[in-house]
Amino acid sequence: MSRNLILGTLLSSLVLLAAVVSFVWTPYDHAALNIPDKLQPPSTQHWFGTDHFGRDIFSMIMVGARTSIAVALVAVGIGVGFGVPLGLTAAARKGSWLDEVIMRGNDLVFAFPSLVIAILITAVFGAGAVNAIIAIGIFNIPVFARITRGAALSLWEREFILAARVSGKGAARISAEHILPNVANLLIVQGTIQFSLGILAEAGLSYVGLGAQPPTPSWGRMLADAQTMVSFAPHLALIPGLAIIVTVLGLNLLGDGLRDWLDPRIRVARA
Amino acid sequence: MLRYSLKRLLSLIISLAVASVVIFGVIEVAPGDPASFMLGVNAQPDTLAALRAELGLDVSKLQRYFNWVGGMLTGDFGTSYTYRTPVSQMIADRLWVSLPLALYALTLSTLIAFPAGIYAAARRGKPGDLAVMGATQLGIAVPNFWFAMMLVLIFAINLRWFNAGGFVGWETGFWTGLHSLTLPAIALALPQAAILARVMRSSLLDILGEDFMRTARAKGLSRRQALWRHGVRNALIPVLTIIGLQFSFLLAGSIIIEQVFYLPGLGRLVFQAISARDLIVVESVVMLLVFAVITVNFLVDLAYAAVDPRLRSRT
Amino acid sequence: MSLLEIENLSLAIHGVPILKQVDLSIAPGQIVAVTGESGSGKSMTALAVMQLLPNGAEVSGAIRLNGSELLNRPEAEMCALRGASIGMVFQEPMTALNPVKTIGDQVMETILIHKAMPPAQARVRAEEVLSRVGLPPDRFPLSRFPHELSGGQRQRVVIAMAIALRPKLLIADEPTTALDVTTQAQILELLKGLVSEYDMGLLMITHDLAVVADMADRITVMRHGEVVESGATQHLLGHMRHPYTRMLFEASGHQVTLPEPVEPQPLLQVSQVVRDYRLPRKALFDRPGHHRAVDGVSFTLNKGERLGLVGESGCGKSTLTRAILGLEEVQSGAIHLDGQPVFTGHRPNLAVRRKMQVVFQDPYGSFNPRHRVARLVTEPFHLLESPPTGAERQDRIAEMLTAVGLSPDDSGKYIHEFSGGQRQRIAIARALIIRPELILFDEAVSALDVSVRAQILDLLAELCATYDLTYLFISHDLSVVRTITDRVLVMQSGRIVEQGETEQVFADPQHRYTQSLIAAAPRLPQIGKEAV
């Protein structure tokens, strides 16, 4: 195992652990107001200090991890759930009108950055965490469709696929039995990367008010609240930012580590 | 080359047409009638009808779509529901902030990323490479708006080198204008530069493994000469794709960054429009952003052909 | 005095020994061939001379060019030597040239990088050398890009780059392996001419013993990084002291004896088959062009017959193979197996597919790396209405693995645990397991080393006797087709130009194309006899 993989797993599990533990325990109630204790710097009582309402930031960060992870994870799920079948279909029917429609559709979706989708959805249906999920999820679909199609296309040229065709297997069966298992590694790595991008995107959306709404805590909105106070209480901005960085860094390292670890060529070379 | 360009142009037009239908369709799903929203619940039926006529809401949906698209083609984006001023004027004012900001950031990002990526690739596995890779790993993980807040804290509040927010306007001169966009541009550019540098590095490393690089060395080129004469141009092909994609991230990112620096750009316009349910403004800004993304990708396609002779002659 | 002198050269990469005490010398005007199977270290020897070794290489010994040591020379001095005093030609012409630069720029670069002459003069010299290698500027202007040239033409450009400054030593690493026989003959002729004209030394790396015997003044045979035998060509061929050398030459010309074919009875009937591919339009409103890959091909393959199909790359033999297998539909004509069409409507006919199997060229790409051998070889069971299960299935797997010379225990292993030759055996087991009426061998031995190839050919001959095989053997390698088939088809530009009894066609080719193919193929010398 490489250093990337170990460090990545460590950081990611730390954040995941915080999110899971927050369901049963946080140092304080993350929503409890305590005005006399407001704007405390980090101390032994409040590890990460308190905000302008005296809420415990450590507790808010823990609960906020839940929101970030949930949004990014479901968004990756949407991307994989729609993107992978589309990519497999396009590759299996390479050059057909279906392939053309799927790929042009992908290009079109790529022209709508998640923020633009979020703006559209919010303008029409109002703000909420679900918007963020849909906006990021939609943007993930073409990412997974493209990467699946690209990898599947080169597999379709391989002789073991021809052998399967000579054995009378149809496109659907070959895609499930031979193509999907051989692109799985790639999808796991890309999934990790999209997961980390999802965390960043969620933070951005909730920062501008297009994501999770109060009282759901989220790192992005904590930053938005901190903005006017950054000159006299910099920890309000520093801590949620560092939480985001640690999470994204951890996931990226995990993705890089997995890529090296899962790549049979590199593994053979190492052995 | 001509045929290739025409083909890309055709696909550009189709993409824009489909995108406009999608945007119009989504906005149409919005519940409620803008006119009654603007006038409140107690509006008189005849005032309502007059307003609807004024806003162009009294015709069929299909007709409205064509009016909207036709208007945009002639530079008429309709009238804002809340401000009653032409949307095109509102957008044009804001665009003079957002577009220069995105371009400024793109320039910075490219200027940082290219040397960093080439440097790292040339020193693969050595301390210089590891340092660049470590820095980019961190750069990717940093949310740009948070980075922007930190820049404000350090360079505006503590060091007072820049204003903490606002835009002085281009009337005060190009350099003062640019100065007030510098912090936002750096905040936007650095995380993108991190991504671009990594792409540049890995693309170059792929090229370094190609047979023709060995041929070049066999001719007597040094490692560095081979890298510059044969590597960089071939490595540009995947890098161009990322630059194209980055433009759309930068444009979207600038909408968020504008909030940190209180810049009067498209972001501010669109968020005000959302809270005021000024859907015609939202619709037009979104269309404009999508138009920008599609057009930049079209330009990237043309740039491919300039770099890669195989594309030029194939079609 | 020798031009190049290699003494006691040892090389290890990250501690793994690659070369062990290699000795070699080349005189001006001399062609020295280094030959051996994959892993023999022959290419590394060439790269060591260029000092273009991969990272982590540790070298000892001596490499002297004109008496001056090359090992541990500063990199800047090596750069001055490469291209000017030593030129190099590589195996793969399709990727050896930079796709975004013109051929003129790339040839001129050799001259300009050494500041040998001013640009205007360099341009003239580039035109000269390109003409010399057979690409005169009136037909191949300097402004051409590599993708506008064929493989053979690109190899000529690579040679032009290597000789632009008249180096004293030219190194050619498998320069014709990726080329067709007729192109190969031309390139070899060109190299020979250049050597005598410029009085260069040529270090030629090749696995092809026929090429070696044809070209070289001296031969060095290598195995596992060691020189096993070397000497003047005539002398070495006449004596062959080392058993490995003898084995290598025997395997290269390996002959098998096929059992007598049975009474002819038609099995596969191909009649008037045409397959077109659409080409991209040349202008915006042009009608799309067509490339006719297979053009009115007809032939019959009898039960128990071993039929060969030979032709150069692009002649349409792969397309024809795919059409017979039902992987691609043809535009017109018909393919019948046992009287049934391969395609009914637009769908491949399952009843016909059941009677056919295929063995592909690439032993590495032919298997799903994630499945075990048992699952891999039983994949054709999918074609059967009631595939065997349980013990019966196990028995069939064991029988097949034994038949191809492997052990039944191998069924639980993954494919990466096997060598290239063993993989081809597994591919044959997979093809045989449903006892097909017809097997297609698509370049099935082309990627193998000669000794492994000989073993697989023996296996095929053996299987012909036990299982009464009927097969179509598709190959570009004439010597293999000659021994492994009864009858042969010769294909050129989508048409069958000649067919007949294999011995008959090879001994007395009728069509001009067949004649040129056979003439171009380098011939292996008779072993043990002093060649004249």
For tokens 């496109």, the residue is A171
Tally helices (H) and strands (E) across chain B: 14, 0
Which has the higher per-residue pLDDT, C453 or B77?
A: C453
Q: What's the token pair of residue B170?
A: 């281009």
What is chain A's length? 271
Q: A120–B297: do the CB atoms touch at under 8 Å?
A: no
The pLDDT score that the predictor gives to residue B135 is: 93
From CA C198, how far away is CA C166, in angstroms rounded? 7
Min Cα separation B57/chain A (Å): 17
Q: A111–B293: do the CB atoms touch at under 8 Å?
A: yes
Q: A163–C366: do the CB atoms touch at under 8 Å?
A: yes
Instruction: Please report the ipTM that was assigned to this predicted complex.
Output: 0.86
From CA C34, how far away is CA C47, in angstroms rounded? 13
Q: What is the DSSP string of C185-208?
A: HHHHHHHHHHHHHHT-EEEEE-S-
Q: Identity (one letter) of the amino acid at C128? A: E
The pLDDT score that the predictor gives to residue C280 is: 65
Chain B neighbours (≥3 Cβ pairs under 8 A) are: A, C
C161 phi, psi to nearest 5 deg: -60, -40
In this complex, is the C-beta atom of C79 within 8 Å of any C-beta atom belonging to chain B? yes
The pLDDT score that the predictor gives to residue C531 is: 41
The pLDDT score that the predictor gives to residue A32 is: 79
Written as tens digits, the pLDDT of chain A (271 aa) is 688 899 999 999 999 998 898 888 888 888 878 778 777 788 888 778 888 787 888 888 999 999 999 999 999 999 999 999 999 999 999 888 899 899 889 888 888 888 888 888 888 888 888 888 999 999 999 999 999 999 999 899 888 999 999 988 889 999 999 999 999 988 988 999 899 999 999 999 999 888 888 888 899 989 988 888 888 888 888 899 999 999 999 999 998 888 888 765 544 333 3
- Nearest-CA residue of chain B relative to C79? B220
Q: Identity (one letter) of the amino acid at B122? A: A
Per-domain boundaries in chain A: 3-19+50-270
- Which member of C95, C100, C161 has the closest CB to residue B309? C100
The pLDDT score that the predictor gives to residue C284 is: 52
Q: Which of A116, A125, A142, A123 is CA-nearest to residue B291?
A: A116
The pLDDT score that the predictor gives to residue B155 is: 87
From CA A265, how far away is CA C263, in angstroms rounded? 50
Question: What residues contact residue A7 under an 8 Å CB cut-off, 6+ apart?
Answer: A250, A253, A257
In this complex, is the C-beta atom of B222 within 8 Å of any C-beta atom belonging to chain C? yes
The pLDDT score that the predictor gives to residue C1 is: 67
The pLDDT score that the predictor gives to residue B50 is: 79
Backbone conformation region of residue A196, classed left if phi is above 0, alpha if psi is from -120 to 50, else beta:
alpha
Work out the angle at residue B268's Cα, subtended by the Cα atoms of residues B263 and B274, and round it to the nearest 5 degrees: 175
From CA C471, how far away is CA B227, in angstroms rounded? 50
Q: Are C37 and C450 in contact (CB under 8 A)?
A: yes
Min Cα separation C166/chain B (Å): 12
Question: What residues contact residue A5 under an 8 Å CB cut-off, 6+ apart?
Answer: A253, A254, A257, A258, A260, A261
Q: B218–C88: do the CB atoms touch at under 8 Å?
A: yes
Q: B219–C98: do the CB atoms touch at under 8 Å?
A: no
Min Cα separation C71/chain A (Å): 27
Q: B26–A241: do the CB atoms touch at under 8 Å?
A: no
Q: At what angle do helices B61-73 and B279-307 cross, to 10 degrees?
A: 50
Average pLDDT on B58-73 reads 84
Mean pLDDT over the full length of chain B: 86
What is chain C's length? 532
Min Cα separation B190/chain A (Å): 14
Q: C158–B215: do the CB atoms touch at under 8 Å?
A: yes
The pLDDT score that the predictor gives to residue A126 is: 80
In this complex, is the C-beta atom of C16 within 8 Å of any C-beta atom belonging to chain B? no
Within C340-437, strands assigned E span 340-341, 343-344, 347-348, 356-359
- Which member of C356, C361, C370 has the closest CB to residue A181? C370
Question: What residues contact residue A137 under an 8 Å CB cut-off, 6+ apart?
Answer: A74, A75, A76, A77, A78, A79
In this complex, is the C-beta atom of B224 within 8 Å of any C-beta atom belonging to chain C? no
Contacts of A230 in chain B (CB under 8 A): 149, 152-153, 157
Q: Which of C175, C161, C167 is CA-nearest to residue C215?
A: C175
Q: How many CB atoms lie within 10 A of CB B10?
A: 10
In this complex, is the C-beta atom of A17 within 8 Å of any C-beta atom belonging to chain C? no
From CA A194, how far away is CA A199, in angstroms rounded? 9
Q: What's the token pair of residue C302?
A: 């009898």
B231 phi, psi to nearest 5 deg: -80, -55
Q: Which of B248, B184, B145, B154 is CA-nearest to residue A219?
A: B145
From CA C457, how far away is CA C252, in angstroms rounded? 11
Q: At what angle do helices C103-113 and C119-132 cross, to 10 degrees?
A: 120
The pLDDT score that the predictor gives to residue C287 is: 65
Backbone conformation region of residue B310, classed left if phi is above 0, alpha if psi is from -120 to 50, else beta:
alpha
The pLDDT score that the predictor gives to residue C403 is: 93
Lowest mean per-residue pLDDT among B69-78, B287-296, C395-404: B69-78
From CA A172, how far away is CA A93, in angstroms rounded? 10
Q: Which of C305, C311, C319, C325 is CA-nearest to residue C471?
A: C305
Average pLDDT on B59-87 reads 83
Q: Are B307 and B236 in contact (CB under 8 A)?
A: yes
Min Cα separation A188/chain C (Å): 16
The pLDDT score that the predictor gives to residue B41 is: 66
Q: Are C62 and C7 in contact (CB under 8 A)?
A: yes
C237 phi, psi to nearest 5 deg: -65, -30
From CA C122, how far away is CA C164, in angstroms rounded? 9
Name which of B10, B18, B146 to mutate to probe chain A: the one with the most chain A Cβ atoms within 10 A of its Cβ.
Answer: B146
For tokens 């998640």, the residue is A114
Strand C343-344 to strand C347-348: parallel, antiparallel, or no bridges (unpaired)?
A: antiparallel
Min Cα separation C398/chain A (Å): 20
Q: How many CB atoms lie within 10 A of CB C54?
A: 10
Q: What's the token pair of residue A65?
A: 């991890």
Q: Are A143 and A83 in contact (CB under 8 A)?
A: yes
Question: What residues contact residue B76 under an 8 Å CB cut-off, 6+ apart?
Answer: B86, B88
Average pLDDT on B165-190 reads 86
From CA C260, how far away is CA C342, in angstroms rounded? 29
From CA B71, how far away is CA B88, in angstroms rounded? 10
What is chain B's length? 315
From CA C248, how far away is CA C514, in angstroms rounded? 28
Q: What's the token pair of residue B290?
A: 């999508």
Q: Identity (one letter) of the amino acid at A55? A: R
Strand C86-89 to strand C68-69: parallel, antiparallel, or no bridges (unpaired)?
A: unpaired
Question: What residues contact residue A101 under an 8 Å CB cut-off, 6+ apart?
Answer: none
From CA A211, how far away is CA A68, in angstroms rounded? 10
pLDDT exceeds cutoff 90 at B74: no
Question: What are the beta bridge partners of residue A50?
Answer: A56
From CA A266, how far away is CA A261, in angstroms rounded? 8
Q: Which of C393, C270, C288, C406 is CA-nearest to residue C342?
A: C270
The pLDDT score that the predictor gives to residue C217 is: 94
Three-state secondary-structure class, residue B27? helix
Q: Are C20 and C10 in contact (CB under 8 A)?
A: yes
Q: Identity (one letter) of the amino acid at A130? A: V
Name which of A167, A175, A268 to mutate to probe chain C: the one with the most chain C Cβ atoms within 10 A of its Cβ.
Answer: A167
Contacts of A244 in chain B (CB under 8 A): 141, 143, 146
> Does A3-19+50-270 carry CATH code 3.30.420.240?
no
Written as tens digits, the pLDDT of chain C (532 aa) is 689 999 999 999 988 999 999 999 999 999 999 999 888 999 999 999 999 998 888 999 999 999 999 998 899 999 999 999 999 999 888 899 999 999 999 999 999 999 889 999 999 999 999 999 999 999 999 999 998 898 899 999 999 999 999 999 999 999 998 888 889 999 999 999 999 999 999 999 999 998 988 899 999 999 999 999 999 998 998 888 899 999 998 898 888 888 887 778 899 999 999 998 877 665 555 666 778 889 999 999 999 999 999 998 888 998 999 999 988 888 889 999 998 999 887 888 888 989 999 999 888 888 998 899 999 999 999 999 889 988 999 999 999 999 999 999 999 999 988 989 999 999 999 999 999 999 999 999 988 999 999 999 999 999 998 988 999 999 999 999 999 999 999 999 999 999 999 999 999 999 999 999 999 988 887 665 444 3
Contacts of C369 in chain A (CB under 8 A): 182, 264
Work out the angle at residue C340's Cα, subtended by the Cα atoms of residues C338 and C344, and round it to the nearest 5 degrees: 155
In this complex, is the C-beta atom of B314 within 8 Å of any C-beta atom belonging to chain C? yes
Q: Are C294 and C494 in contact (CB under 8 A)?
A: yes
Would you place residue B63 in the very low, low, confident or very high pLDDT band (cuts 50, 70, 90)?
A: confident
Contacts of B261 in chain A (CB under 8 A): none
- Nearest-CA residue of chain B relative to A122? B274
From CA A63, how far away is CA A28, in angstroms rounded? 11
The pLDDT score that the predictor gives to residue A1 is: 61
Average pLDDT on B51-72 reads 81
pLDDT exceeds cutoff 60 at B315: no
From CA C423, how far away is CA B130, in angstroms rounded? 41
Q: Give tens-digit pLDDT for B105-151.
A: 999 999 999 999 999 998 888 899 999 999 999 999 999 999 999 99
Three-state secondary-structure class, residue C99? coil
C130 phi, psi to nearest 5 deg: -65, -40
The pLDDT score that the predictor gives to residue B178 is: 86
| Cα dihedral C172/C177/C183/C189 (nearest 10) | 40
Q: Are C316 and C345 in contact (CB under 8 A)?
A: no
Contacts of C424 in chain A (CB under 8 A): none
Three-state secondary-structure class, residue C56? coil
Work out the angle at residue C363's Cα, subtended by the Cα atoms of residues C361 and C366, and round it to the nearest 5 degrees: 85
